[in-house]
């Protein structure tokens, strides 16, 4: 329920204005308005809670964007890029719920899962500015957003999983490169 709708309902209940389907409210005695006052308070609280939800969503989106920005690695030499690409393939294999459908010199993809709230991954390798290559990880999850861009039923599940995967990618590859 939107804030505007909840506030409108709360104001209508406070004033004792009847909804068309609830015409007997107009003839109630004042003693019966206490439950209506409670309902108005609850409707107001619902409107306030949705403002907190919007703030939490914004904070979560910022954290998700920061994690996505970290989900890349730059390699300088050919040997380092081959090793980083191999580590990327290992990372994807261990973090996607589906198997790889493509793994060539520039793209790694996993299959889209049959179901919502499950993460599948892809990576791309492209020339970096100044030489070497830039490897980017892309995490995706059905049910995270609705078709209009608003949060879907699985938003929290998806965003938590994507953030965790994105935040771990760079450190995994860099640690693997240091061992070699």
For residues 50 and 10, the answer to whether their CB atoms sit within 8 Å is no
Start-end of CATH 3.30.310 domains in the chain: 71-179
User: Taking the domain 71-179, which CATH number applies?
Assistant: 3.30.310
Q: What are phi and psi for residue 58, nearest 5 degrees?
A: -60, -45
Report pLDDT digits (tens) over 14-42. Answer: 444 444 444 444 444 444 444 544 445 44
Q: Tokens standing for 153? A: 């039923």
The H or E element spanning position 108 is: strand 107-110
Q: How far is CA 64 from the centre of its chain?
A: 7
**Residues with Cβ within 8 Å of residue 40, at least 6 apart in sequence:** 9, 10, 11, 13, 14
Report pLDDT digits (tens) over 98-155. Answer: 999 999 999 999 999 999 999 999 999 999 988 899 999 999 999 999 999 889 999 9
CA-CA distance, 173 to 105, in Å (whole number)?
17
| 179, burial (CB in 10 Å: exposed 0-12, middle 13-18, buried 19+) | exposed
């Amino acid at each position: 329920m939107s804030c505007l709708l909840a506030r409108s309902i709360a104001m209508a209940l406070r004033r004792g204005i009847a909804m068309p389907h609830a015409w007997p409210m107009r003839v109630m005695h004042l003693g019966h308005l206490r439950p209506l006052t409670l309902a108005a308070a609850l409707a107001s609280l619902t409107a306030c809670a949705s403002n907190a939800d919007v703030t939490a969503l914004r904070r979560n989106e910022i954290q998700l964007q920061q994690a996505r920005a970290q989900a890349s690695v730059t390699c300088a030499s050919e040997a380092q890029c081959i090793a980083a690409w191999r580590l990327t393939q290992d990372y994807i294999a261990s973090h996607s719920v589906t198997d790889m459908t493509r793994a060539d010199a520039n793209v790694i993809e996993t299959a889209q899962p049959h179901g919502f709230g499950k993460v599948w991954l892809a990576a791309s390798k492209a020339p970096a500015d100044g030489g070497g290559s830039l490897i980017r990880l892309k995490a995706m999850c059905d049910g995270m957003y609705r078709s209009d861009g608003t949060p879907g039923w699985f938003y929290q599940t998806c965003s938590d999983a994507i953030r965790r995967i994105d935040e771990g990618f760079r450190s995994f590859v860099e640690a693997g490169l240091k061992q070699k």
